[in-house]
Amino acid sequence: MGKPLVIIIAAMAENRVIGRGGAIPWSIKEDMRRFRDLTMGFPCIMGRRTWESLPHKPLSGRLNIVVSKLMAAHQAGNTDGENGGVLVFSSFNDALEYCGACEKVFVCGGASLYREAMPAADIMEITLIHKTFRGDVFFPPIDPEVWEEKTVDEKGDFAFISFSRKKQAE
């Protein structure tokens, strides 16, 4: 089975904050639209807390996959793995393996999933909000030895930045 393109998608503040109190401390319509446009039709993998935080779930038109030991334990014995419109796996690797035949998968947060997915990711679609926020969850540091900025689409208060994993020297 092939490996899908693994794409991390996140919005973060200048101080790398991505969330506070189980929610995202800003609301940017253009960013939400971009999230929808990029992810539409592709599997979206997320952690249990991010799933719980979604105001409208599941994300429509996308296979919603939640990584959670708690939810996986609850669905034990449920043979099709469905759990209210969502597929649940007890590890990120199992979720990724399930998507082996897909062209792309999106990793949609939160912080623990971003940390876990970063070594496997090929691309990161980051919305950088040009402000600092108080928060309790942070995007992991982006190592410039590993990641290169491919495009920067400056929007004023924020920018859409696409990172690609640098090719390893032979």
Ligand X SMILES: NC(=O)c1ccc[n+]([C@@H]2O[C@H](COP(=O)([O-])OP(=O)(O)OC[C@H]3O[C@@H](n4cnc5c(N)ncnc54)[C@H](OP(=O)(O)O)[C@@H]3O)[C@@H](O)[C@H]2O)c1
In sequence order, which ranges of the chain are alpha helices (DSSP H)? 29-39, 48-53, 69-74, 92-98, 111-117
- Asked if residue 58 has a cis previous peptide bond (ω within 30° of 0), the answer is yes
Q: How far is the CB of 170 from ligand X (least distance, A)?
A: 32
Query: Which of 52/166 has CB closer to ligand X?
Result: 52
Single out the residue of 45, 126, 141 nearest to residue 87, CA to CA. Answer: 45
What residue is closest to ligand X based on CB?
Answer: 110
d(Cα 83, Cα 170) in Å, to the nearest integer?
44
50-59 burial code (b ≥16 CB/10 A, e <16):
bbebeeeebb
Query: Which of 56/167 has CB closer to ligand X?
Result: 56
Q: How far is the CB of 1 from ligand X (least distance, A)?
A: 21
Query: Which of 74/166 has CB closer to ligand X?
Result: 74
Q: How far is the CB of 167 from ligand X (least distance, A)?
A: 27
CB 67 within 8 A of CB 81: no
Q: How far is the CB of 113 from ligand X (least distance, A)?
A: 4
**Contact positions toward ligand X, by CB under 6 A?**
10-11, 18-19, 22-24, 46-50, 53, 67-71, 90-92, 108-113, 116, 137
Query: Which of 91/166 has CB closer to ligand X?
Result: 91
Q: How far is the CB of 32 from ligand X (least distance, A)?
A: 10
Query: Which of 78/91 has CB closer to ligand X?
Result: 91
| Angle at the Cα of 16 from the Cα atoms of 121 and 35, rounded to 5 degrees | 55
